[in-house]
Amino acid sequence: MKNLLLLAAGFLASSTYAQCTIAGNDNIKPNETTSLTVDAKAQCDECYSWKSSDLNIKIDGKTKTNKIDVSSSQIGKSTISVSVFTNQGLQQCEKIINVAVPALVAATPAVKESKQNIIENSCGIPVDDFKDVKVSESIISFFPNGNPTSYTYKWSVSYANGEVQESSEKIPQFFYSDVNYITLVKLKITKNNPICSVTISKKFDENFWKAKKYSNLQQKVYSPISYSEYVKPAEEANSSK
């Protein structure tokens, strides 16, 4: 009888030590902040205890609530764990956070196929891409890679803070900075006879602008002569006739 009571007590003790789940992003970029929450309900609002396995992951703010913000300035993997004191007993769970720099997207076959689709569905509009050119430390200009003159252009630029700016110029200029960087650029080109249009879009992250600022980003001021460097060879040949 004594052995049965011991077994029953052991079973009850192990059943109270249950597992929980941490929800949130597993992968973050350096200096990026992400939120983590635990699904277990504690006895009180501050009956939680969050911990990091090392100094790589920093917990911002309180560590005794069901939600925390974490960030890291170093690349690597760390473990975030939480202990929750519930009415049923102690629950514990953990989550591995990977801090890494996103790989730069190269011209993959999928990207080439997308450009081919633009060409095939462009109703004769000889533009399938656009380029970026630095005008100053805070101004960027975008150039279509063709030089048709009888079409209308609509540029739409989205920023990190959610702001959207538009321009109907063929070669527009937009503000940009390391803090409020450009995340998306869309170019809609419309042909009036017959009426049809093609839209080209590109996504960017903050590392793209930082890398280009100190390496390949060219600094020029637009002029009809310099623009010839950005058009296709066929268009350049036609414009010189």
> Tens digits of per-residue pLDDT, 115-154?
545 444 556 777 788 888 877 878 888 888 877 667 888 9
- pLDDT tens digits, residue range 28-74? 888 888 899 998 889 998 999 999 888 778 888 788 999 999 888 77
Q: Residue 110 is encoded by which pair of tokens? A: 């999928």
Residue 122 confidence (pLDDT): 53
Residue 48 confidence (pLDDT): 92
Average pLDDT over residues 153-161: 91
Residue 144 confidence (pLDDT): 84
Residue 81 confidence (pLDDT): 92
Band (pLDDT 50/70/90 cuts) for residue 102 is low
Q: Is 109-239 the same fold as 2-99?
A: yes
Contacts of 8 (CB under 8 A, 6+ apart): none
**Distance from the first to the final alpha carbon of the chain:** 105
Highest mean pLDDT among 53-57, 111-115, 171-175, 209-213: 171-175
Q: Residue 201 is encoded by which pair of tokens? A: 């879009």
- pLDDT tens digits, residue range 187-203? 998 887 777 888 888 98
Q: What is the domain partition of the chain in residue ranges?
A: 2-99, 109-239
What is the torsion angle, in degrees rounded to the nearest 10, for the CA atoms of residue 232, residue 164, residue 112 and residue 143? 10
Band (pLDDT 50/70/90 cuts) for residue 18 is low
Rounded CA separation 216/139 (Å)? 15
Residue 1 confidence (pLDDT): 47
Query: pTM, whole model, 2 decimals?
Result: 0.43
Residue 6 dihedral angles phi and psi, to the nearest 5°: -65, -40
Residue 49 confidence (pLDDT): 93
Residue 84 confidence (pLDDT): 92
CATH topology of domain 109-239: Immunoglobulin-like (2.60.40)
Rounded CA separation 40/22 (Å)? 9
Cβ-based burial of 182 (10 A; exposed 0-12, middle 13-18, buried ≥19)? buried
Q: Residue 91 is encoded by which pair of tokens? A: 């629950």
3-state secondary structure of 23: strand
- Cα–Cα nearest to 37, from 71, 72, 15, 70: 70
Residue with the bigger pLDDT between 187 and 217: it is: 187
Residue with the bigger pLDDT between 214 and 142: it is: 142
Residue 158 confidence (pLDDT): 93
* Domain at 2-99: CATH code: 2.60.40.1080
Any idea which residue has 């150039």 for tokens?
143
Residue 33 confidence (pLDDT): 87
Residue with the bigger pLDDT between 133 and 183: it is: 183
Residue 156 confidence (pLDDT): 94
